[in-house]
Amino acid sequence: MEFNPVSEAILRELSSVLGPDNLSTAEAERQLRAQDMSQHEAHLSEVVVWPGSGRQVADVLRIAHDNRVAVTPWGAGSSLEGNPIPLFGGITLSLERMNQIVALHADDFQVTVQPGIGYKDLNQALGTHGLFFAPDPGANASIGGMLANNAAGTRTVKYGATKDNILAMEVALADGRLIHVGSRSVKQSAGYDLLHLFVGSEGTLGVVTEATLKLVPLPNVMSGVVASFTSVAEAIAAVVELRSSGLDIAALEFIDAATSELLSREEGVDWGDNPTLLMEIHAAHAETAELDLALVQEICQAHGAIRFQATTDTAERQKMWHTRHHMFETMRRVFVDYQWQLSDVAVPISQYPALVQFARQALQTRNLPEFMVGHAGDGNLHITTPYQDEAVRQHANQANEEVVLRAIELGGTSTGEHGVGIGKAKFMVREHGETAVDVMRSLKQTLDPHGILNPGKIFVS
Amino acid sequence: MEFNPVSEAILRELSSVLGPDNLSTAEAERQLRAQDMSQHEAHLSEVVVWPGSGRQVADVLRIAHDNRVAVTPWGAGSSLEGNPIPLFGGITLSLERMNQIVALHADDFQVTVQPGIGYKDLNQALGTHGLFFAPDPGANASIGGMLANNAAGTRTVKYGATKDNILAMEVALADGRLIHVGSRSVKQSAGYDLLHLFVGSEGTLGVVTEATLKLVPLPNVMSGVVASFTSVAEAIAAVVELRSSGLDIAALEFIDAATSELLSREEGVDWGDNPTLLMEIHAAHAETAELDLALVQEICQAHGAIRFQATTDTAERQKMWHTRHHMFETMRRVFVDYQWQLSDVAVPISQYPALVQFARQALQTRNLPEFMVGHAGDGNLHITTPYQDEAVRQHANQANEEVVLRAIELGGTSTGEHGVGIGKAKFMVREHGETAVDVMRSLKQTLDPHGILNPGKIFVS
């Protein structure tokens, strides 16, 4: 891929579209957006721009398209696979200043937002209306970034991933056209599903400039459960039975023995040192919640649960999720001055015990610590490996690679929710086959003929 | 569009791929597949082929592609917008002989099927495993047809449309390539969402030759509710509040006054002659079902319900849904020798009363009968108009056109679940805008450069 540098003439053109306060070539600004939360190497773009509207985003793309300049969109920088790193320099297109709620459609359970808003900030604003946006990746990701990577998180087992919670978008195309895709009607069968073509395309086909999201009414009663088991196999057998029970559990998380032990020690929770499930259950009435919890307990005990803690207390439940969501921060506190290899694979749930078993082996063989957690209800597994030297980093990467290939063999995917970014591009052909990847490339060529949008991502160059 | 006729040489080539028993030029066979259940005019293809595998489907497409022959896929013929009518002759590609269950993955809540299987037949087979495929369009549509049109039906409010219940597919492309899209992993963020590009594309981008579907555990307790209201506005206000309640109702259907009256008279149900809601509620325990029904009753009464019938009796519930699902058959029995205009639009739920009000006006102005039902939980409305002469047909079409344009103005769609087919093509630009339709056309051009796949559908030629 060959791109032109951002010349003085291009800077003037950008400035005339955006106004002089909405672009910067300062190294500090470029440095701040040179790397996400992954292990991938930082790269500097040549200029950061902050458009304020869909039209301005489209104009930036038109300028880049006409001048063959690379453009890498930037949301909150919380991604984990190098997705927004500007590998080819050029323009960092930051959506940070487009962070407003455009319209709340409370009766329709919908909200229209700009892409730069953080989902946690959004949910805080929605809370007063008794509504929330369900996907919950943990870090305060921007909605635009969640759409770009099809982010998911802990509540996907009940509410789906980001792709299941989006209705309509405005999208700026590479050549500066602006289109609307999807509909505020929750049902639509009117032509090609352009909406889902752009969701998960990581800014390589277009840039989302506005999004109408599906919302969910805040449940009347939320319960939390911690259950521990003597083996991963028993824990997952319980997961399958819980999912068959019709309970429609809102979160169903797996924490392996080592991570349970670490979090119990460091965070003052009582999760022991066995494979553990964390759950959240949403109910319309208190009586229903009690019935649901009794059934959950029965199923867990049938699978030999050695610990069962259930609560409808908000503070206790929040403590549980805070501990889960801040696991990475806790590990960083324990492993000072370490770097991190983070893995994200997913398989059909029946293959989850085999995947976990394989992953343990891959880590043990290399004397790597076993820290595994996952969204068990969805068969999604994350391995977190701290390292300090190049040899351990290489081992961690090898283990990751083996686990990815095994997940694909088991009918799963190389990336459940982090996206392809830089690190997973080499697995695309293995996962989808040469022909399907050729089709993806032909769509990229159709929508971005000069390849200016987030170059170096998804496809091996 | 210009296509070549199916020559003797092409027939020989097809026969050598499929075997002589799997194609026919007999007029009776072509006649049987010349029209769906819509009002659109019948057209004869030149040959019907019945491939037996994905490879054979791909080979048929390759032959058609090389020879510039039109190909129209055929499932069960139950569609309602002319979707499988072979407007340009050529080959009718029937999936009827590819009707097997390939693999049941019960622990994963998944089944892999060939596209020709009927969803009712599938659900009968799945019942013994305590599972079902949730989308429920009514007629015994084929899974391939449901995928092609993104069919939906009564249970979409809880379980989503077909697009929400598909995980992976094998797809034959226009040029004879065969690809796999999606994953058996319920979470995936690995590259472009080709799966959803093909779902709802009505066989114009490729032909689905195998599909892995999401299944749902059969609920332990199913309840049915009939509630009548003094006005459409009160009924829909109840719908919004029911959806806010956290009850997650599995079906939430609107039946207007005229249709309630007709069905009460003809089918021996006691639904009166007021706007009526039909509901189905799924619960994990009997006690929960009772609590849910009490809350439903409270909400309906708060909106002045003048009738409230709740049941957990299976036979009573089935009678209710049988009456709803066979409404069209009942109307055909009452209106002997009539033809039918069927309308399908959807809007954000808050706009549903305005839509219904507008539709009533459009019908009354033209002295057309008011028969309206809809999937109210999704804002989806169907108008059913019997006619016997050309003048009434034209009036019905005018009313339909006005209602479609109004639905689009209200932030909705020209087609909620029937697809674009022939009848809705002229509304695509109004609904999506010129630029988005241009993007759809460019994708069509990329994937089907000779335009052989289901020509004359979705786009105005």
Q: Give pLDDT tens digits for A32-52.
A: 999 999 989 999 999 999 999
Backbone angles phi, psi at B7, to 5 degrees: -80, 170
CB-based burial label for A325 (10 Å; 0-12, 13-18, 19+): middle
Q: Which chain A residues are within 8 Å of B186, Cβ to Cβ? A: 156, 346, 348-349, 378-379
Contact B386, B370 (CB under 8 A): no
Give the model's pLDDT for residue B406: 98
Of the CA atoms within 13 Å of residue A165, those in its CB half-sphere come to 28
The torsion defined by the Cα of B433, B438, B440 and B442, in degrees rounded to 10, comes to -170
In this predicted structure, the answer to whether residue A285 has a pLDDT above a threshold of 90 is no
Enumerate residues 6+ apart whose C-beta is below 8 A from A45. A30, A33, A34, A72, A86, A89, A90, A91, A92
Q: Give pLDDT tens digits for B141-159.
A: 999 999 999 999 999 999 9
CA distance A156 to chain B (A): 8
Please answer yes or no on whether B439 and A189 come within 8 Å at the CB atom: no
Contact B346, B412 (CB under 8 A): yes
Q: Which chain A residues are within 8 Å of B292, Cβ to Cβ? A: 284, 288
Give the model's pLDDT for residue A139: 81
Contact A174, A61 (CB under 8 A): yes
Q: Which two tokens stand for residue B99?
A: 């009707």
Which of A185, A218, A351, A434 best tests the B interface by mutation, with the highest count of B CBs <10 A?
A185
Give the model's pLDDT for residue B399: 97
Please answer yes or no on whether B436 and A243 come within 8 Å at the CB atom: no
User: Taking the domain B101-217, which CATH number applies?
Assistant: 3.30.465.10
Give the model's pLDDT for residue B34: 98
Give the model's pLDDT for residue A256: 95
Selecting from 3.40.50.300, 1.20.59.10, 2.60.40.420, 3.30.465.10, what CATH number does the domain A1-218+424-461 have?
A: 3.30.465.10
Closest-CA residue of B relative to A153 is B187
> Would you call A197 an interface residue with chain B, using a CB distance cutoff of 8 Å?
yes
Contact B355, B410 (CB under 8 A): yes
In this predicted structure, the answer to whether residue A56 has a pLDDT above a threshold of 90 is yes
Window 297-326 of B: residues touching A by CB (8 A cutoff) are none
Task: Using alpha carbons, list the distances in angstroms from residue A83 to A137, A149, A375, A391, B9.
Answer: 15, 8, 22, 25, 52
Give the model's pLDDT for residue B140: 86
Q: What is the DSSP letter of A425?
A: G
Residue B431: how many other CB atoms lie within 10 Å: 24
Q: Is B170 helix (H, G, I), strand (E, B) or coil?
A: strand
CA distance A394 to chain B (A): 23
Which among A164, A191, A288 has the least Cβ separation from residue B164?
A164
Which among A108, A152, A458 has the least Cβ separation from residue B350?
A108
Q: Answer whether 0.80 is exceeded by the pTM.
A: yes
CA distance A277 to chain B (A): 18
Residue with tokens 């249970």: B155
Q: Which H/E stretch holds residue B363?
A: helix B352-365
Q: Do domains A1-218+424-461 and A221-327 have the same CATH topology?
A: no
Mean pLDDT of chain A: 96
Backbone angles phi, psi at A457, to 5 degrees: -110, 155
Task: Using alpha carbons, list the distances in angstroms from residue A405 to A128, A398, A429, B170, B396.
Answer: 45, 11, 11, 21, 58
In this prediction the ipTM stands at 0.96
Q: In what order do the strands lie in the sheet with B339-346?
A: B307-311, B221-228, B276-283, B251-255, B372-375, B380-387, B339-346
Give the model's pLDDT for residue B405: 98
Q: For chain A, which residues make up each domain, given as ranges? A: 1-218+424-461, 221-327, 335-423
Contact B423, B40 (CB under 8 A): yes
Instruction: State the Cα–Cα distance between residues A165 and A156, nearest whole angstrom.
Output: 10
Window 403-422 of A: residues touching B by CB (8 A cutoff) are 407, 411-420
Residue A45 C-alpha from the chain's centroid: 24
Instruction: State the Cα–Cα distance between residues A444 and A441, nearest whole angstrom.
Output: 5
Contact B50, B386 (CB under 8 A): no
Which of B159, B189, B213, B345 best tests the A interface by mutation, with the highest count of A CBs <10 A?
B189
Ranges assigned E (strand) in A256-388: 276-283, 307-311, 339-346, 372-375, 380-387
Give the model's pLDDT for residue A320: 95
> Would you call B152 an interface residue with chain A, using a CB distance cutoff of 8 Å?
yes
B221-327, what's its fold? Alpha-Beta Plaits (3.30.70)
Window 203-262 of A: residues touching B by CB (8 A cutoff) are 205, 217-220, 240, 243-248
Residue B91 C-alpha from the chain's centroid: 24
Instruction: State the Cα–Cα distance between residues A194 and A179, nearest whole angstrom.
Output: 10
Q: Is A444 helix (H, G, I), strand (E, B) or coil?
A: helix
Contact A371, A258 (CB under 8 A): yes
Please answer yes or no on whether B186 and A346 come within 8 Å at the CB atom: yes
Window 89-148 of B: residues touching A by CB (8 A cutoff) are 105, 107-110, 130
Q: Name which CATH class applies to A335-423.
A: alpha beta
Which of A136, A159, A164, A189 best tests the B interface by mutation, with the highest count of B CBs <10 A?
A189
Residue among B35, B12, B16 nearest B25 (CA): B12
Give the model's pLDDT for residue B285: 86
Q: In the structure, what pLDDT confidence band is assigned to residue A201 with cuts at 50, 70 and 90?
A: very high
Residue among B157, B146, B167 nearest B73 (CA): B146
CA distance B387 to chain A (A): 26
Please answer yes or no on whether B189 and A418 come within 8 Å at the CB atom: yes
Residue with tokens 């058959």: B329
Residue A287 C-alpha from the chain's centroid: 34
Instruction: State the Cα–Cα distance between residues B188 and A415, nearest whole angstrom.
Output: 6
Q: Which residues of chain B have pLDDT under 70?
A: none
Instruction: State the Cα–Cα distance between residues B105 and A143, nearest whole angstrom.
Output: 34
Q: In what order do the strands lie in the sheet with A178-182?
A: A101-105, A110-113, A206-214, A166-173, A178-182
Contact B440, A192 (CB under 8 A): yes
Contact B281, B292 (CB under 8 A): yes
> Would you call B436 an interface residue with chain A, using a CB distance cutoff of 8 Å?
yes
Q: In the structure, what pLDDT confidence band is assigned to residue A140 with cuts at 50, 70 and 90?
A: confident
* Mean pLDDT on A16-23: 98
Cβ contacts of A400-407, under 8 Å, gap ≥ 24:
A400/A341, A400/A343, A402/A358, A402/A362, A403/A343, A403/A345, A403/A355, A403/A358, A403/A359, A403/A362, A404/A343, A404/A345, A405/A430, A406/A355, A406/A358, A406/A359, A406/A362, A407/A345, A407/A346, A407/A347, A407/A355, A407/A381, A407/B185
User: Can you give the length of chain A in residues?
Assistant: 461
